[in-house]
Structure 1
Amino acid sequence: MPSVRKAAAAVSVLAAAGSTTAAAGHAEVYAPPAPAPALSATALDARYRAAGGDIARALATAKRVRDEGRTRALSDFLAPGRRFLSFDPRGSGRAVEVIGDLEHADRIAVVVPGADNSLSNYDSPKFVGGGSRSLYRQALATAPGKRVAVVAWLGYDSPSTRSLAVLTGGRADDGARGLRRFLTGAHRVNGHARFALLCHSYGSVVCGKAAPHLAHLPVDEIAMFGSPGAGVDHASGLGTSARVWAGRAKGDWMRYVPNVRFAGLGFGADPVSSGFGALRFDAGTGPHSGYLKPGSLALRNLALIALGRDAEVTHA
Structure 2
Amino acid sequence: MTGSATGYRVAPARLDTVAGETGSRAGELAGAQSAVVGEKVPAAAFGRVSESAAAAKTFEKTMTELGAKLESHVSRLRTLQTGLTACAAGYRRADAQVAAMYRALLPEDPLPRAGNPAGIGGSADTGAWAHAIADNRVKVAGALTAERSRLAHLTDAGEIARSRARIKLYEDILADRRQILKFDPAGNGRIVELVGHIEPGTRNVGLFVPGVNTQMSNFDAYAGLGRSLVAADPAGRTAMVVWADGVFPQNPVVQGPDASYAQTMAPDLKTFADDLRGEIASHAGPDVTLTAIGHSYGGATVGLAETHGLDVDRVLHVESAGMGHGVWSPSDLPASQAGVQRFSMTAPLDPIEIAQGNAWGLEWTGIGHGADPDTFPGVTELETGRDASGSQLWGLSSHNDVLKPGSESWTNIYRVLTGGPVTLDGGALR
Pick the TM interval, shorter chain.
0.7 to 0.9
Equivalent residue, structure 2, for 1:18:
none
Which of 315, 324, 329 is matched with 1:222 structurally?
Answer: 315
Question: In structure 1, how many angstroms separate the alpha carbons of the residues matched to 2:295 and 2:212?
Answer: 9
Equivalent residue, structure 1, for 2:135:
50
Structure 1 residue 172 and structure 2 residue 262: aligned?
yes
1:148-297 to structure 2, matched below 5 A, reads: 148-162=238-252, 164-191=254-281, 192=286, 193-214=288-309, 217=311, 219-231=312-324, 232-235=327-330, 237-239=332-334, 240=337, 241-250=339-348, 252-257=350-355, 259-261=358-360, 262=362, 263-273=365-375, 276-284=377-385, 285-286=392-393, 287-297=398-408
Aligned length: 268
Deviations 1:88-139 (A, max 9, x none): 1011111111111124422110111111111111123xxx21222222223x
Residue pair 1:272, 1:280 contacting (<8 A) in 2 also: yes
Residue type of the alignment partner of 2:147: A
Which of 102, 108, 126 is matched with 2:198 structurally?
Answer: 102
Residue pair 1:41, 1:190 contacting (<8 A) in 2 also: no
Question: In structure 1, how many angstroms separate the alpha carbons of the residues matched to 2:208 and 2:252?
Answer: 23
Structure 2 CA distance for partners of 1:122 and 1:210, relative to 1, 3 Å: same
Unpaired runs of 5+ residues, structure 2, are 1-119, 152-162, 386-391, 426-430
Query: Shift of the alpha carbon at 1:257?
Result: 4.0
Query: Shift of the alpha carbon at 1:276?
Result: 4.1
Residue pair 1:233, 1:276 contacting (<8 A) in 2 also: no
Residue pair 1:235, 1:244 contacting (<8 A) in 2 also: no
Which of 110, 115, 129 is matched with 2:223 structurally?
Answer: 129
Residue pair 2:258, 2:368 contacting (<8 A) in 1 also: yes
Equivalent residue, structure 2, for 1:87:
183
Normalising by structure 2, what TM-score? 0.58
Normalising by structure 1, what TM-score? 0.78
Secondary structure, in 3 states, of the residue corresponding to 1:164? coil
Equivalent residue, structure 1, for 2:423:
314
Residue type of the alignment partner of 1:46: H
Structure 2 CA distance for partners of 1:196 and 1:78, relative to 1, 3 Å: same
Secondary structure, in 3 states, of the residue corresponding to 2:342? strand
Deviations 1:173-224 (A, max 9, x none): 2211221121111112111222000110101111111113336x3x111010
Deviations 1:10-46 (A, max 9, x none): xxxxxxxxxxxxxxxxxxxxxxxxxxxxx99721210
Question: In structure 2, how many angstroms separate the alpha carbons of the residues matched to 1:129 and 1:177?
Answer: 22
Equivalent residue, structure 1, for 2:95:
none
Residue pair 1:251, 1:288 contacting (<8 A) in 2 also: no
Secondary structure, in 3 states, of the residue corresponding to 1:160? coil
Question: In structure 2, how many angstroms separate the alpha carbons of the residues matched to 1:42 and 1:294?
Answer: 33
Residue pair 2:266, 2:305 contacting (<8 A) in 1 also: yes
User: Percent identity between the aligned chains?
Assistant: 29
Which of 401, 404, 411 is matched with 1:300 structurally?
Answer: 411
Bigger RCO (CA 8 Å, 6+ sep): 1
Residue pair 2:344, 2:380 contacting (<8 A) in 1 also: yes
Secondary structure, in 3 states, of the residue corresponding to 2:399? coil
Equivalent residue, structure 2, for 1:21:
none
Structure 2 CA distance for partners of 1:102 and 1:292, relative to 1, 3 Å: same
Residue type of the alignment partner of 2:306: A
Residue type of the alignment partner of 1:313: V
Secondary structure, in 3 states, of the residue corresponding to 1:87? strand
1:130-149 to structure 2, matched below 5 A, reads: 130-138=224-232, 140=233, 144-149=234-239
* Structure with the higher fraction of residues in helix conformation: 2
Residue pair 1:107, 1:307 contacting (<8 A) in 2 also: yes
Residue pair 1:84, 1:97 contacting (<8 A) in 2 also: yes
Residue pair 2:355, 2:368 contacting (<8 A) in 1 also: no
Q: Please identify, of 296-305 and 229-238, the stretch whose mean Cα deviation from structure 2 is larger.
A: 229-238
Query: Shift of the alpha carbon at 1:76?
Result: 1.8
Secondary structure, in 3 states, of the residue corresponding to 1:123? helix
Structure 2 CA distance for partners of 1:97 and 1:169, relative to 1, 3 Å: same
Secondary structure, in 3 states, of the residue corresponding to 1:111? strand
Question: In structure 1, how many angstroms separate the alpha carbons of the residues matched to 2:175 and 2:347?
Answer: 33
Asked which structure has the greater CA Rg, the reply is 2
Question: In structure 2, how many angstroms separate the alpha carbons of the residues matched to 1:69 and 1:148?
Answer: 28
